[in-house]
Amino acid sequence: MQEGKLIAFKIPIRMHTELKARLFYDEIPMTKFVRSYIEAYMSRDPLILAFINQHKKENNIQNKNKIKKNIKLMQKGKETEKLFNLTNEEIENIYDIIEINEGGNI
């Protein structure tokens, strides 16, 4: 079995029941549902990020200037990615090299 961390949180009983029913109807196990949303968020999926930004605005979680700045930074990152035409694997390799250099192992 893979190592991992358990994530637990409480939701109202009615919401849990409705979620289980909806997932059953869509034939998606709850663990896969939660894991897929986490993976989409971590990979910066545009659909999830749009939802997150809307949620932040509606619930005053982050001020509008910070949200706009984050969106601009993500767009700039995409432009840089296109400019250098790097694949995800190449980007990971760059991060690995930076990490090794910061550790003083080279």
pLDDT digit string (tens) for 36-78?
999 999 988 889 988 988 888 888 887 777 777 777 777 777 7
* CA 90 to chain CA mean position, Å: 20
Residue 103 lies in a domain: yes
| 55 and 77 share one domain | yes
Give first-to-last CA distance, the chain, whole Å: 34
Which residue has better confidence, 82 or 57?
57
When divided into structural domains, the chain yields a total of 2
Task: Give percent of the chain above pLDDT 70.
Answer: 90
Q: What CA–CA distance (Å, rounded) separates 90 from 86? A: 6
Same domain, yes or no, for 34 and 63? no
Q: What percentage of the chain exceeds 90 in pLDDT?
A: 35
- The number of residues in the chain equals 106
> 18 is in which domain, residue-wise?
10-43
Q: Phi then psi for 79, rounded to 5 degrees?
A: -65, -40
Q: Domain check: are 82 and 99 in the same one?
A: yes
Residues 61, 103: one domain? yes
